[in-house]
Structure 1
């Protein structure tokens, strides 16, 4: 039934955007400006027939703008109207969230099919009020709006670091502000079990704490020596959060990890493992070999856990993880091997599929569905499962083509634990480089899908893993402003061609976040540097979200001042030097000082090709990153490294003419906890025609290990136009290492030649 809500306001809202452009995020599907304007009255009169919960709801969200009073329909200048025709035919889900706002000279009318639609309309209206507050009037307009995607989600990991009920509620409020409708709550992992299960009290007595925590960069391998926990949510607290989210029309999807990421659970109930233990909650980050053993007592345990979980969470989907499950223990386990044989499974990947399908059958029997990370595709997808595609887009493509629903959350666009600005000037993060404009550029519908297959893409989600996020202020820093870009992508109104318009709206919303005391990242104010080819060498292109005339820079390593060189065009880098840059406004420093060291060699800026491309998560700058004059920071795997999973690096450098050289250098990383291994070998070749190559140097695993990945090779006197380097990936990770039996990562930074 159509529900019509009329509102007569005392408004207060911010400056009109240029040319009647609303400062609304996500931007509505259709905005039509009309003649006239709505003058803000002194009192805001609500329908006296509103229920008590509705009155409280309006008081909470509109009370900051005006004094609320209640009156009869006549006082409201009620306009009777049918819900207007939709812009496009709507699905049932879209109809649930559809709304219109009509602002005339007499009143403001909200129309919606459901309370959820009205709630989203209210979020839009609040943003309009804040925009037009200073001028005291709003231009007449009509907004017709609905989301494109049914699933618009944000994830929060509370296992690596824990957040209080009040902080989780605040997180949910942030989602509601920007019309995200799904909260994915990651409640169990190796480092902590965070949900009370009454049948298994040791899960929280033992599994909710760890003896210490890793701190700093992973490669430092340092720990704080401080016990962490016990931290968990009681079932009453869970109910409180779910109720809070429901009132904001947000679905809470719980995640109970299986069969991997189970160390915290095994620390409490070691009999559920393939070996005897003892186990303890992980103190390091990464992936661990000890996982749930697929035996009857394990399934009984998990079914009992899920029974309690499903009573607490009314969501249609229950997330069962399914990611990063090493098969080491299963390979060595007599029971697992017998189970593989008994069920005619191909291998341990087939056993993972058996595990997931058995859990799915149980959850389906309770009227629910499972969703899991894309590794649940291993060995065959469970019949009714949905896939959360994180390792890239292929998992979502495979699921959709098989007529399974998928939520797109590829790490390269949707992992908010990645750096969002220059890693050198950002707090320590997991790695990767996902700035605001990249999030905004994402299209959740892969090009490989036809129209029928695309219907299986439920939507989009961003994930916040918290290994390097110690408190809630840092949570805020990592999600804002990227959450705004995600919201517009999910709503379906993002347009990368108009990114600057979106960025201007983001900056206007910073004023809102300031009033809320939100610790948002100001990375878009900082100077962004990009190395580009220039005159057979390189140049450094600087940019900022502000007026580029405000950029000042130095080339001698000194901190720039207002009197330093004014940036006009990309800065030529003829030799090794340090560029420092900053943004000034009104004579004052307004940004962090960005610093970049360049080491120029004979390969710097030269044409380079790769036979195999890097992983999307670690591909910033593509092949050119290997000849951009920047040595990678081993503690910050941001935009200075290329990462290859299971692939060799085969790079060919074209000097442009025959060139004398006698040395080559490059770096590879070792970070086994993150599945990153040193190269297995390296071979150097030369050629004059790019067809016939001669090998001139070869080194093996022992030499690379002795050099700790920092390779510097003497080649003798060479004279050639082309140089090819083949850096061999470590291959399959051996037993006894995190991620055993999975493909190793190979990270490479700069290939320098002298």
Structure 2
């Protein structure tokens, strides 16, 4: 093992302090606490043989309050050589390039690593220790032996919906480096903007890098700001600058050039690449659009020329070619596409997508690179050397790994940082979903369906930041922190969901560093989190907070909580419609946002409910109980109060416990066609006394549901039964002329009640 040594002259401390677990994120594979403490001196003396770039980074991170000197004199550095320590944990040869060893004694600190990359990762650990102990000035003695579990530990940034300048992108890369992520996925092109200069095709940035306005607010509001956006793009010199900057931090930049879908910005510049004549313009809405690249020779020539320039700028092994959400509407109507399907004996338009991806892969391979794409590239058969980025769930990664293809796991349910991370009512507007810190931390990138050999094809894990609702870099910071820390530990392989609270305490320790850096991180974990529980014949509302729960105060009469309000002592029984408002107080002062939850109680509230088909993992918070928890979902916040089903009907059976009289049934569905969410096609209500023999008591069709705008209230006459079953029919395949045409529609359902 090559040895990089950092040696600091320091005062000797013989006092042994009680040791606590250091606030390191990601937590190392092995930490052995020793006696004594290293006292941080005013001037640190570093061995002058250390790698220059990494050491300069170390100095810059700590240099505002510590002075540095370099020396090779034995009397100053005390030790010139340290034998390689005997490993206390198994070292994986494949991951050895990122392994390192740190020995902190009361007199000095040593770092050993095979590579400069491992040395750099060791410095990140050391910086965290210096930051943690900047107040007391003493770092506990310890031995750290460490290496990551996964080779791909990534973060994605979408710069198409909203653009971030070079300095902001560099800052983003610095955040990744701080927590030992090693891959930056740069989403450079999409329907809403083309952000990379291609010299052969100047119109891509002259025309495609701007749009006439941008969508604002929730998608259902369908409002626009009326302000021209752009032109915004990176010159090739700026791209080189960012790639070099990332390389100095041992981070690989993986560019993404979207194809064959998400192509409107490119088509606005070069309409001849489409199946129809156009004209086209960069999208002002968010969502998915029918106009995509047409698989004709002119298009392939264009994309190959674009890729030539991209490959010259990015030294990464993988080039991301998108491949997701490509509607087949235009291909179905295109004579050239239909002829191509016949000529190549393709089964259908999905086969044509596979043909498209195969051609691009063959070209990229000829340049000595590999492609990676979203899991839709599996459609029609995966290209021979392609890797899959599994986002729609874990199935894409499982399918890829079982067929001997590499995969990066990035399922939306755990790894989409554009989702809400706290109670949607107290969070800035987000795309949807509910992915709090503890959920990110609970993720295991190795699917249980894979055996040991298949698991080797899981390259790692990545989180994605789509920026439809992230207009500036401060909001970028808010959405990634602190969830980036959870991702970091998941990717490192030391996450322990059973001890989440201990991890949360380390996160709070890291907040001090973010405060000093003036990072706009989310404080959602300080806010009160509410959870509805079944309780007897009704429900109870459980409140939790990361601090001492004795600081929670709440009201049930609609007034704002204060120190004089009720002290939370356990789950709050909810037997009638009311609003619970709660907040956390410390030393008599309000320390959290005020959380407000309205409950609407019906005869189904808190009752036992079963679903024949389960919701999508992205929209499954609370499971079936969400439909009878007394909470009505907000149509502008697709967070934790809705269940979402893609291509599935909802069939829910509620056990009322005893024969119950009722005459009204209500439930809510949602329409948001831009996000592929359609109102139900029909609904049927059944009753039973034995949960076996059901009779239908009401049926409504699409027109009635449309007229009610999804808020369904049905008079069902005088009923008296023990069980009620509701079948809500999914809209099915999205018809032509709608975003996501030819794909499975989403059905969102909320509270089911009876009166």
TM-based fold match above 0.5: yes
Residues 18/554 of structure 1: CA separation in 2 closer, same or farther (3 Å cut): farther
**Paired position in structure 2 for 1:46:** 46
* C-alpha deviation, 1:46, in angstroms: 1.5
**Paired position in structure 2 for 1:546:** 547
Alignment of 1:76-115 (within 5 A): 76-115=77-116
Q: Does 1:202 align with 2:207?
A: no
**Paired position in structure 2 for 1:5:** 5
| Residues 623-658 of structure 1: per-residue CA shift (max 9 Å, x gap) | 000000011100000000000000000000100000
Separation in 2, partners of 1:54, 1:704: 62
Separation in 1, partners of 2:81, 2:318: 39
**Is the 8 Å Cα contact of residues 17 and 23 (structure 1) preserved in structure 2?**
no
| SS at structure 1 position matched to 2:741 | coil
* C-alpha deviation, 1:39, in angstroms: 2.6
Alignment of 1:586-625 (within 5 A): 586-625=587-626
| SS at structure 2 position matched to 1:562 | coil
Separation in 1, partners of 2:166, 2:307: 21
Residues 395/105 of structure 1: CA separation in 2 closer, same or farther (3 Å cut): same
**Paired position in structure 2 for 1:178:** 179
Residues 696/308 of structure 1: CA separation in 2 closer, same or farther (3 Å cut): same
Separation in 1, partners of 2:278, 2:270: 10
**Is the 8 Å Cα contact of residues 612 and 649 (structure 1) preserved in structure 2?**
yes
**Paired position in structure 2 for 1:300:** 301
* C-alpha deviation, 1:78, in angstroms: 1.9
Root-mean-square deviation over aligned CA pairs: 1.3
**Paired position in structure 1 for 2:349:** 348
Larger CA deviation: 76-85 vs 679-688:
76-85
Q: Does 1:311 align with 2:312?
A: yes
Larger CA deviation: 592-601 vs 102-111:
102-111
**Is the 8 Å Cα contact of residues 403 and 456 (structure 1) preserved in structure 2?**
yes
**Paired position in structure 2 for 1:66:** 66
Separation in 2, partners of 1:159, 1:187: 6
Separation in 2, partners of 1:55, 1:157: 31
Larger CA deviation: 513-522 vs 47-56:
47-56
Separation in 1, partners of 2:91, 2:171: 31
**Is the 8 Å Cα contact of residues 5 and 50 (structure 2) preserved in structure 1?**
no
Q: Does 1:325 align with 2:326?
A: yes
Separation in 1, partners of 2:705, 2:303: 45
**Paired position in structure 1 for 2:248:** 247
Separation in 2, partners of 1:439, 1:593: 24
| Residues 220-257 of structure 1: per-residue CA shift (max 9 Å, x gap) | 00000000000000000000000000000000000000
* C-alpha deviation, 1:57, in angstroms: 2.8
**Paired position in structure 2 for 1:24:** 24
* Alignment TM-score, normalising by the size of structure 2: 0.98
Separation in 1, partners of 2:733, 2:73: 72
* C-alpha deviation, 1:55, in angstroms: 5.2
Separation in 1, partners of 2:468, 2:499: 34
**Is the 8 Å Cα contact of residues 204 and 230 (structure 1) preserved in structure 2?**
yes
* C-alpha deviation, 1:302, in angstroms: 0.3
Residues 223/54 of structure 1: CA separation in 2 closer, same or farther (3 Å cut): closer
* C-alpha deviation, 1:58, in angstroms: 3.4
| Residues 191-220 of structure 1: per-residue CA shift (max 9 Å, x gap) | 000000000000000000000000000000
Separation in 1, partners of 2:205, 2:127: 41
Larger CA deviation: 78-87 vs 498-507:
78-87
Q: Does 1:578 align with 2:579?
A: yes
**Paired position in structure 2 for 1:36:** 36
Larger CA deviation: 30-39 vs 669-678:
30-39
Separation in 1, partners of 2:409, 2:328: 26
Separation in 2, partners of 1:226, 1:432: 28
| SS at structure 2 position matched to 1:636 | coil
| SS at structure 2 position matched to 1:196 | coil
**Is the 8 Å Cα contact of residues 531 and 542 (structure 2) preserved in structure 1?**
yes
**Is the 8 Å Cα contact of residues 389 and 410 (structure 1) preserved in structure 2?**
yes
Separation in 1, partners of 2:134, 2:189: 45
* C-alpha deviation, 1:43, in angstroms: 1.7
Residues 205/17 of structure 1: CA separation in 2 closer, same or farther (3 Å cut): farther
| SS at structure 1 position matched to 2:228 | coil
Alignment of 1:387-466 (within 5 A): 387-466=388-467
* C-alpha deviation, 1:91, in angstroms: 4.0
Separation in 2, partners of 1:629, 1:270: 51
Residues 296/89 of structure 1: CA separation in 2 closer, same or farther (3 Å cut): farther
**Is the 8 Å Cα contact of residues 9 and 108 (structure 1) preserved in structure 2?**
no
Q: Does 1:268 align with 2:269?
A: yes
| Residues 676-701 of structure 1: per-residue CA shift (max 9 Å, x gap) | 00000000000000000000000000
| Residues 570-613 of structure 1: per-residue CA shift (max 9 Å, x gap) | 00111000000000000000000000110000000000000000
**Is the 8 Å Cα contact of residues 10 and 42 (structure 1) preserved in structure 2?**
no
* Alignment TM-score, normalising by the size of structure 1: 0.98
**Is the 8 Å Cα contact of residues 9 and 107 (structure 2) preserved in structure 1?**
no
Separation in 2, partners of 1:391, 1:704: 28
Residues 7/283 of structure 1: CA separation in 2 closer, same or farther (3 Å cut): same
**Paired position in structure 2 for 1:57:** 57
Residues 10/276 of structure 1: CA separation in 2 closer, same or farther (3 Å cut): farther
Alignment of 1:712-751 (within 5 A): 712-751=713-752
**Is the 8 Å Cα contact of residues 626 and 749 (structure 1) preserved in structure 2?**
yes
**Paired position in structure 2 for 1:234:** 235
| Residues 29-72 of structure 1: per-residue CA shift (max 9 Å, x gap) | 00111223223333211123456545533321331342111112
* C-alpha deviation, 1:134, in angstroms: 2.4
| SS at structure 1 position matched to 2:502 | helix
Residues 455/639 of structure 1: CA separation in 2 closer, same or farther (3 Å cut): same
* C-alpha deviation, 1:77, in angstroms: 1.5
Separation in 2, partners of 1:383, 1:439: 32
Separation in 2, partners of 1:290, 1:608: 43
Alignment of 1:622-637 (within 5 A): 622-637=623-638
**Is the 8 Å Cα contact of residues 83 and 112 (structure 1) preserved in structure 2?**
no
Residues 496/661 of structure 1: CA separation in 2 closer, same or farther (3 Å cut): same
| Residues 128-176 of structure 1: per-residue CA shift (max 9 Å, x gap) | 1122222232222110000000000000000000001000000000000
Separation in 2, partners of 1:17, 1:608: 54
Alignment of 1:210-221 (within 5 A): 210-221=211-222
Separation in 2, partners of 1:224, 1:457: 42
**Is the 8 Å Cα contact of residues 354 and 381 (structure 2) preserved in structure 1?**
yes
Residues 646/296 of structure 1: CA separation in 2 closer, same or farther (3 Å cut): same
The answer for unaligned runs of 5 or more in structure 1 is none
Aligned length: 750
* C-alpha deviation, 1:86, in angstroms: 3.9
Q: Does 1:137 align with 2:131?
A: no
* C-alpha deviation, 1:80, in angstroms: 2.0
**Paired position in structure 2 for 1:468:** 469
**Paired position in structure 1 for 2:226:** 225
| SS at structure 1 position matched to 2:82 | coil
